[in-house]
Structure formats: C-alpha cells, structure tokens
Amino acid sequence: MNKTLMNKKKKIALIAHDNRKQDLLNWVKANEDELSKHEFFGTGTTSKLISENTKLEVHGFLSGPLGGDIQIGSHIVEGNIDILIFFWDPLQSQPHDPDVKALLRIAVLNDIPTSTNIASADFMLNSPLMNEEYQRVIIDYSSRLSRKG
C-alpha cells in the first residue's frame, strides 16, 4: 500500500452531465464561500459555466465526450486531483460512458473521495476532514492483475 497526503487545500474536479450542470452550478453557488478555500478543475462546459457564474477559478479541460474525463483521470493518476465531484445523469446513456466508467475506476483505485449527487457532496464538503490534511491509502492492485494480459 502507498500513502498519499492530501493538503488542507484540496484539488477538486467538478464534472456534470448536461442534465445535471444546473444542479452542480446551484450547489457550487450555495457553497461558494467554503469552496473558495480549494482549487478546481473541470471538464469543458462545466468549468466554463462555474467560472462565469461564480468567483471561483476552474482550470478547464476538454469536454467529457472529447476526452475531458480521461484528462481528469490522468490527473488523478498523477496525484493532481484529491476529490471528484461528478453529478452524472443515471437515466441517460452518454456517448462517452466507457470514459466515465474508466474515470470512476481510476478514482476508486486511487482512493479519491467521490461524490455523485448533492447529498454526498454536502456530506463531503461538511466533513471535518475537508479542511485538514488527510492520508489516503492506495492499495497495490498489481498482484490481482492477470499475467495473461
């Protein structure tokens, strides 16, 4: 197992499917003061929407279907994202569903706290751990991988 330290100032990825963008924007606006203590990254339209409608700066990546989810996943693997807040639409198929699944798998493999709805985002943001250093434990899954692949 590897341990990775999250600083008090968290690096948070913000992503939302089209039908959930307004929900995420409303959540960010309602929590802007608390969120302003952290650093933000986001995919395409979501990052632009939040940057234009709040005082938060969001480092933007490509749109999710054009590779933005993969870019966020890459930053998680590189240790540049601490938290994933992804308001996804569970009732609509997305053209980039395989990328979404890969992103969520990478988040789990790297012990990244992940929120997929307003309630879990509220619990995460209001956790006493949110503004403290935190030691993530990353399990070494390599021994579980098949040698055939």
The DSSP code for 141 is: G
Hunting for tokens 């990478």 — which residue is that? 106
Tell me the C-alpha distance between 26 and 109, whole Å.
29
Q: Is 33 a catalytic residue?
A: no
Catalytic entry in 69, 82, 99, 111: 69
d(CA 42, CA 62): 9
> Rounded distance, CA 5 to CA 134, Å?
6
Place of tokens 């943001």: 125
CA distance 24 to 7: 24
The CA distance from 9 to 27, in Å, is: 19
Name the residues annotated as catalytic: 69
